[in-house]
Amino acid sequence: MDFKKVMVAGSGVLGSQIAFQTAFFGYDVNVYDINNDAINAAKERFAKLKEVYAEYFNDADKAKAAYGRLSFSTDIAEAVADADLMIEAVPEVVNIKQDFYQKLAPVAPDKTIFASNSSTMLPSQFAEFTGRPEKFLALHFANSIWKNNTAEVMGHAGTDAQYTEQVIEFARSIGMIPFLVKKEQPGYILNSLLVPFLNAGLSLWAKDIADPHTIDKNWMISTGAPHGPFAILDIVGMETPYNLNVAKSDLDPTYKAIAEKLKTEMIDQGKMGQSTGEGFYKYPNPAFLEPDFLKQN
Ligand code: NAD
């Protein structure tokens, strides 16, 4: 692997983090977004990330240098020119992604490997639109990439293993711990475990089998885990589980009951989780961190 230039497409929550992480580890990064408003919003994110990285890595000079390695473009051909790798973090909407790959494919150099950061979609859904299915795969990061440094790498049936290897090597070179997902799997490794786990907790709550703190406490005492499902839901926020359960509402009444309860008891009350100071727990001193939490019930 001898990558030097990386294009990051979409400079929202994850795209800006991926771009900054990549620049922090020495690559030249071209950040592509649809218009100047989006680029300006990204610049504000990068200014904040510069502070976050300076503090987290205790290296203000390196964070400043990373900022200097970012360039910005609203012209897709300019953004991908000479890129060794393109990492896509555009919205999680099939048509937007498909359209993006169809525009990118004809203007990208042959050498450019395309990687998607999609959380819920599969590379095989877009391979035909990339014009280079053998050089296309998923490279999935977690939010707060600098500390939650996993990179799930997952090809589709037509991905050439040599490019998968190169992307794994790249991920390692930017401080990630890469995890190869050997076959296409919706949700990769992490969300294949986490989503059913969180929904199992929500289902016990929606069916009024036990309350959230009791469920967490049981899980924590029984397994030694530092968090139960509801403490994790407070980190994730209520939006994603709500949308997921709404989408499945027709399949099973439990999904519907979960969605309704999340809406009326959490979202409508402004209890979105850690981000709003209250979810299933109150922050900054949630009950599950209190010394007595695990000593009695
Ligand atoms: P976001 O809404 O914060 O950012 C999306 C960005 O894409 C915006 O800057 C928007 O202007 C831009 N955009 C819109 N249309 C575009 C186009 N046609 N071409 C280029 N840019 C375009 O979204 P996000 O949360 O950063 O998610 C982006 C991707 O990352 C999704 O696929 C999502 O599944 C994945 N992801 C998100 C998270 C997360 O925690 N937010 C975690 C892992 C993966």
What does the pLDDT look like over 96-144, one tens digit per residue? 999 999 999 999 999 999 999 999 899 999 999 999 999 999 999 998 9
Q: Is the pLDDT of residue 275 over 90?
A: no
Tokens 């100047």 appear where? 36
Tell whether ligand 1 has an atom less than 6 A from the beta carbon of residue 100. Answer: yes
**5-181 under CATH 3.30.465.10, yes or no:** no
CB 51 within 8 Å of CB 24: no
| pLDDT for res 256 | 97
Q: Which of 209, 198, 261 is nearest to 235 (CA)?
A: 198
Tell whether ligand 1 has an atom less than 6 A from the beta carbon of residue 87. Answer: no
Rounded mean pLDDT, 17-46: 97
Residue 200's Cβ-side half-sphere holds a number of Cα atoms within 13 Å equal to 11
| pLDDT for res 265 | 98
- The domain locations on the chain are 5-181, 194-287
Please give the Cα distance from 6 to 226 (Å, whole number): 37
Residues 6+ positions from 285 with CB-CB distance below 8 Å: none
**Percent of the chain's residues with pLDDT above 90:** 95
CB 146 within 8 Å of CB 52: yes
Q: Is the pLDDT of residue 191 over 90?
A: yes
Q: What pLDDT, in 10s, does the model give residues 199-235?
A: 999 999 999 999 999 999 999 999 999 999 999 999 9
Q: What pLDDT, in 10s, does the model give residues 75-98?
A: 999 999 999 999 999 998 899 999
Maximum pairwise Cα distance, the chain: 63
Residue 69's Cβ-side half-sphere holds a number of Cα atoms within 13 Å equal to 23
CB 116 within 8 Å of CB 138: yes
| pLDDT for res 44 | 96
CB 130 within 8 Å of CB 105: yes
Structure tokens at 173: 């070179």
Tell whether ligand 1 has an atom less than 6 A from the beta carbon of residue 31. Answer: no
138 CA to centre of ligand 1 in angstroms: 14
The SS3 of residue 116 is strand
Q: Can 5-181 and 194-287 be said to share one CATH topology?
A: no
For the chain, the residue count is 297
Phi, psi of 102, deg, nearest 5: -65, -35
Please give the Cα distance from 147 to 57 (Å, whole number): 10
| pLDDT for res 223 | 98
Choose which residue among 31, 33, 147, 195 to substitute to test ligand 1 binding: the one with the highest number of ligand atoms within 8 A of its C-beta: 33
Phi, psi of 155, deg, nearest 5: -90, 175
Residue type, 118: S
Q: Is the pLDDT of residue 1 over 90?
A: no
Atom of ligand 1 nearest to the CA of 16: 26
Please give the Cα distance from 77 to 167 (Å, whole number): 22
| pLDDT for res 297 | 87
CATH entry, 194-287, from 1.10.10.410, 1.10.1040.10, 3.40.47.10, 3.40.50.2300: 1.10.1040.10
36 CA to centre of ligand 1 in angstroms: 16
131 CA to centre of ligand 1 in angstroms: 22
Residue type, 207: K
CB 22 within 8 Å of CB 8: yes
Please give the Cα distance from 208 to 112 (Å, whole number): 52
Tell whether ligand 1 has an atom less than 6 A from the beta carbon of residue 90. Answer: yes
| pLDDT for res 96 | 96
Question: Whose alpha carbon is nearest atom 21 of ligand 1?
Answer: 10
